[in-house]
Amino acid sequence: MHRLPFRPLAAVTLVAVLIAGCGTTSSPAPTAAGPTMAPTATPAPSADSSATPAPTAAPSTVLTPPRIGLHEVVKGLDSPLDVAAEGGAADRIFVVEQPGRIRVVTNGQLATQPFLDISGRISAGGERGLLGLALHPDFPNDPRFFVDYTNEDGDTVISSFEQSLDADAADPESERILLTIKQPFANHNGGAVVFGPDGMLYIALGDGGSGGDPQGNGRSLKTHLAKILRIDVNVPKGQTPAYKIPADNPYASGEGGALPEIWLTGLRNPWRMHFDPLDGDLWIGDVGQGAWEEIDVARAGVGGLDYGWNTMEGAHCYQPASDCDQAGLTLPVSEYDHSLGCAVIGGVVARGAAEPSFVGWYFFSDSCSGNVWVIDPAKDTPQEPIRVLDSGRNISAFGQDADGNVYLTDLGSGTLLQAVPQGG
pLDDT digits (tens, 9 = 90+) for 200-231: 999 999 999 999 999 999 999 999 999 999 99
Residues with Cβ within 8 Å of 423's Cβ and at least 6 positions away in sequence, in order, are 69
**What pLDDT, on a 0 to 100 scale, did the predictor assign at position 211?**
95
Cα-to-chain-centroid distance, residue 163: 24
**What pLDDT, on a 0 to 100 scale, did the predictor assign at position 318?**
96
pLDDT digits (tens, 9 = 90+) for 90-116: 689 999 999 999 999 999 999 999 999
Alpha carbon distance 226, 185 (integer Å) = 13
Alpha carbon distance 239, 401 (integer Å) = 32
- Residue ranges per domain, the chain? 17-421
Reply yes or no on whether the pLDDT at 32 is more than 80: no
User: What 3-state DSSP class applies to 259?
Assistant: coil
- If one compares 54 and 141, the residue with the highest pLDDT of the two is 141
Q: Transcribe 132-188 into DSSP letters.
A: EEEE-TTTTTS-EEEEEEEBTTS-EEEEEEEE-SSTT-EEEEEEEEEEEE--SSSS-
**What pLDDT, on a 0 to 100 scale, did the predictor assign at position 322?**
83
**What pLDDT, on a 0 to 100 scale, did the predictor assign at position 25?**
35
The CA distances from residue 200 to 38, 43, 163, 209, 248, in Å, are 10, 18, 20, 27, 11
Q: Please classify residue 175 by burial: count the beta carbons closer than 10 Å to its beta carbon, then call 0-12 exposed, 13-18 middle and 19+ buried.
A: middle
Mean pLDDT of the chain: 87
Segment 369-382 shows an average pLDDT of 96
Reply yes or no on whether the pLDDT at 121 is more than 50: yes
**What pLDDT, on a 0 to 100 scale, did the predictor assign at position 353?**
76
CATH architecture of the domain with residue range 17-421 = 6 Propeller (2.120)
